[in-house]
Amino acid sequence: MNTIYLDNAATTAVSPEVLQAMLPYFTEHYGNPSSVHATGRDARKAIEAARRQVAAAIGADPAEIYFTAGGSESDNWAIKGAAFMNRRKGNHIITTAIEHHAVLHTCGWLEKQGFEVTYLPVDAEGRVTPEQVEAAITDKTILITIMAANNEIGTLEPIAEIGKIAKAHKILFHTDAVQAVGAIPLDVKAMNIDMLSMSAHKFHGPKGIGVLYIRKGVRIDTLIHGGAQERGQRAGTENLAGIVGLGKAIEIATTDLPAKAARLSALRDRLIDGILERVPDVRVNGPREGRLPNNANVSVRYIEGESMLLRLDLAGIAASSGSACTSGSLDPSHVLLAIGLPHEVAHGSLRMTLGSETTEAEIDRVLEVLPGIISDLRSMSVLNKDTSTVTDEVFYHGKK
């Protein structure tokens, strides 16, 4: 039985074309790109070709693309680098309560170094407004860092509008676009983005390779010190095969993006609508419009997300109960709490994220299996209409 893999927000399969593009760079073309001999020069050429592929995908210049070891490093570098470079100008950073931990924990560490961070609250669907961002700006603000798309509930943030505000106030704007690259169109110039993080393994590339886009003229401190790689800004012998894989993966992911996004959105809606039709007492987390094409997130009343996961796993379906980073811990997701869900409801959440290989038949299989699992678990649950502290009003937040 093939696994139905619906955890593409956690990581994706490396696509066959990406793997094929990478293989020669482990064997034939293994040179160090800093070497002057022909083997080294071949490696250098491959890296610069990948840099052009990335730049083309987000409307940047190749000279604005820096390879890193992934999304977490890119977030750390952008935020710490901007904070320390600008600390004479000010010490205030604006972000949101629903960022990935790579952003939140970096901001938390900076608070210990004397920086001040505003964590903007979000509405019931996970959105911040440009007005909130503008109102939080002080004469000490040096950085705004707000994600393009949320990894748990799929909410798309108004990045272009926030970019406009940041530009008008001459404040650096970084966006964690790890979930957005390859899912929605991105143009760093049109959106006034100064720095953007991405990670190959979220768009069918390999793990351990990412990019930080840094707009020309923006200067941030170095995070990884050492050799002169990446124009002296990020030391370490380049992850050659990884970089080649990232380049190929982003090229594939952004080719015919609107058609691919439309296909996934239709499957996503088939999944969400199918669950709502077949299972009573389910709420959708995140907006119906303005959400990632591949993200479905629901809370199922009276039962635990973890128990649904285990039962789905037995049925050959891979899903998630929130973010992979928080599952295994008993704390409910900070994102679900930030949209106002009580702990009990947050614990009953299930995230299913589609990928380029997901088929309609797989979605239909999930719709066949999931209602039975839920009614089974409900029959065994200690929570029910009489014991639950959560009312209809709380559960549905005014919408059904």
Ligand X SMILES: *Cc1c(COP(=O)(O)O)cnc(C)c1O
Interacting residue with ligand X among 179, 233, 320, 326 (CB under 6 A): 179
Number of residues that bind ligand X (CB under 6 A): 15
> Which amino acid, one-letter code, is at 318?
A
Distances (CA, A) of 130 to 2, 48, 127, 206, 361: 44, 36, 10, 34, 40
Q: Smallest distance from the beta carbon of 235 to ligand X, in angstroms?
A: 18
Q: Smallest distance from the beta carbon of 335 to ligand X, in angstroms?
A: 10
8 lies in the site for ligand X, by CB under 6 A: no
176 lies in the site for ligand X, by CB under 6 A: yes
Interacting residue with ligand X among 43, 178, 246, 309 (CB under 6 A): 178
291 lies in the site for ligand X, by CB under 6 A: no
- Closest residue by Cα to residue 76 from 48, 102, 40: 102
- Choose the stretch contacting ligand X; rule: CB under 6 A; options: 135-143, 171-179, 260-268, 270-278: 171-179
Based on its alpha-carbon atoms, the radius of gyration of the chain, rounded to whole angstroms, reads 22
325 noted as active-site residue:
yes
7 lies in the site for ligand X, by CB under 6 A: no
Interacting residue with ligand X among 7, 50, 53, 71 (CB under 6 A): 71
Rounded Cα distance between 348 and 297, Å, is 11
Q: Which element (helix H / strand E) includes 27?
A: none
Report DSSP letters for 53-73, one per residue: HHHHHHT--GGGEEEESSHHH
Alpha carbon of residue 114 to chain centroid: 28
Which segments within the chain are labelled E, that is strand?
A: 4-5, 65-68, 92-96, 116-120, 141-145, 172-176, 195-199, 210-214, 282-284, 295-300, 317-318, 349-353
Give ∠ CA 354-204-355 in degrees, rounded to 5.
Answer: 10
72 lies in the site for ligand X, by CB under 6 A: yes
Q: Which of 325, 359, 360, 384 is catalytic?
A: 325
210 lies in the site for ligand X, by CB under 6 A: yes
351 lies in the site for ligand X, by CB under 6 A: no
- Choose the stretch contacting ligand X; rule: CB under 6 A; options: 68-76, 82-90, 343-351, 365-373: 68-76
Cβ distance to ligand X smaller for residue 240 or 279: 240
Site map (CB under 6 A) of ligand X, residues 75-94, x = contact: x-------------------
> Token pair for residue 400?
């059904």
Binding residues for ligand X restricted to 128-157, rule: CB under 6 A: 147, 151
Q: Smallest distance from the beta carbon of 41 to ligand X, in angstroms?
A: 29
Residue whose beta carbon is closest to ligand X:
71
Cα atoms found within 13 Å of the Cα of residue 390, Cβ hemisphere only: 23
The set of residues, in sequence order, having a beta carbon less than 8 Å from that of 4 and lying 6+ positions away, is 316, 317, 318, 362, 365, 366
Cβ distance to ligand X smaller for residue 70 or 245: 70
Q: Which residues contribute to the site for ligand X (CB under 6 A)?
A: 70-72, 75, 100, 102, 147, 151, 176, 178-179, 199, 201-202, 210
Q: Which residues are catalytic?
A: 325
